A and B are shown apart, each in its own frame.
Chain A
């Protein structure tokens, strides 16, 4: 899975740690998501999308 978490996070000027705390995961999980190594649950994808102020989950998470 390709994600645009890093891009949206930098637009919002929030760190990995801040995003991790905001969505209730560890920083390591955010790193894995940004690197496309971990496929999140729908619930986590939704929460991250909301936190990064994207309109749709597909704006952040791209299934290849």
Chain B
């Protein structure tokens, strides 16, 4: 891939993803931004080609960022911290989703209307449930 994991560190305080740690990381981001802006500014290409080129560069960037995130070196203490932080974030998400479901059911009951729960919320909760089960099965077999 293009970027090196040593150029970045995981984002700890401002969301998910990576932030540059070295000047090479900043150059990497600057080059991708230049390419993206460059594609928008080239006057001779039509909008479809511009969209396709932007999409290709975007897919390369996302794939590269995932590769970097998967290969950033973390020691055991950092791995534990990251796991606990991600777990707590997931608990917050699930809590909000469950409150959302309860709210939508309550509103439907009060208005005497049929339940109108957003299916995306249900899918998100079930997706989390499935991923948790698969992870536990994998970890039980692994060690």
Contact = CB atoms under 8 A, between A and B. Distances in A.
Interface string A1-43: 0000000000000000000000011101100100000101100
How many residues of A sit at the interface, in one of the four size bands?
10 to 19
A62 interface: no
Interface residues of B, number: 4
A24 B75 contact: yes
A52 B76 CA distance: 19
A40 B80 CA distance: 11
A44 interface: yes
A40 B75 CA distance: 11
Contacts of A40: 76-77
Interface of B: 75-78
